Amino acid sequence: MNVLAISGSLRKKSYNTALLRAAQKLAPEMGIEILDYSAVPIFNQDVEESAYPEVVTDIRGKITVADAVLFAVPEFNRTPAGSLKNLIDWLSRPDYKLWNQKPVGIVGASSGPRGASFAQYDVRRIMSYFNARTMGQPEFYCGNDEDGEFDAEMNLVDPKTTDVFKKFLAALSEHIKK
Ligand SMILES: Cc1cc2nc3c(=O)[nH]c(=O)nc-3n(C[C@H](O)[C@H](O)[C@H](O)COP(=O)(O)O)c2cc1C
């Protein structure tokens, strides 16, 4: 299996990227690769038409061959972080056919208790527009209200959250196989 994982956060100590690293450890059989899209420019239709970025072409290629895409979505002001929205906008141009029937999993981590629930739903909405095959259940919300989900090295250490996340990944694996 080959799963492309996209963290909506570019910062080093990102809870969302840490979740994806935990997924790599918890489900090695899923072949999870974490995408580096730090070189993707701000979307501008003039740039799209005059000098379509090679980095976006490469990412489109990775999504096309991936068995699934796993998003970890940070929530900024009750919506997905702009860095992720920017990437998704690029990945809808010149068309969003690459998403058609693509299996998708969505998780999210926030520093508050809600686990980026609003932002996760926004990404579900976009994926539905793209006709992707997003897993509906189970959902996974990682709230970090200073109760020790992660250690200082950003390893997922909370046993209950780890167990729930493992179950999410097992369900996603089945969703992809179907
Ligand atoms: C500009 C900004 C807006 C935020 N708005 C929200 C919000 O609406 N809801 C929420 O749960 N957390 C919000 N947060 C806190 C984020 O959940 C927190 O920074 C989180 O750790 C970001 O994800 P990351 O750790 O993967 O970078 C906000 C943070 C920033 C910087």
pLDDT digits (tens, 9 = 90+) for 9-47: 999 999 999 999 999 999 999 999 999 999 999 999 999
> Is the C-beta atom of 167 inside 6 A of ligand 1?
no
> Is the C-beta atom of 75 inside 6 A of ligand 1?
yes
Q: Output phi, psi for 109, to 5 deg.
A: -130, 140
Measure Cα distances from 137 to 97, 105, 124, 170, 172 in Å: 24, 10, 12, 12, 9
In the chain, % of residues over pLDDT 70: 99
Residue 147 confidence (pLDDT): 74
What's the structural domain count of the chain? 1
pLDDT band at 87; cut points 50, 70, 90: very high
Residue 80 confidence (pLDDT): 98
121-128: long-range pairs with CB below 8 Å, 24+: 122/73, 122/79, 122/80, 123/71, 123/73, 123/80, 123/84, 123/88, 126/88, 127/99
User: How many Cβ atoms are within 10 Å of 20's Cβ, its own excluded?
Assistant: 22
What is the CB-side half-sphere exposure of residue 106 using CA atoms within 13 A? 27
Give the domain CATH number at 120: 3.40.50.360
Alpha helices in the chain (DSSP H): 15-26, 45-50, 54-65, 82-90, 117-129, 159-177
> Is the C-beta atom of 113 inside 6 A of ligand 1?
no
Ligand 1 centroid – CA 99 distance (Å): 27
> Is the C-beta atom of 83 inside 6 A of ligand 1?
no
Domain containing 139: what range? 3-177
Ligand 1 centroid – CA 66 distance (Å): 28
Ligand 1 centroid – CA 29 distance (Å): 31
Q: Which of 24, 2, 3, 5 is nearest to 154 (CA)?
A: 24
Ligand 1 centroid – CA 46 distance (Å): 31
pLDDT higher than 90, residue 113: no
- Closest atom of ligand 1 to 10 CA is 27
pLDDT higher than 90, residue 146: no
Pairing of strands 75-76, 103-110: unpaired
Residue 23 confidence (pLDDT): 98
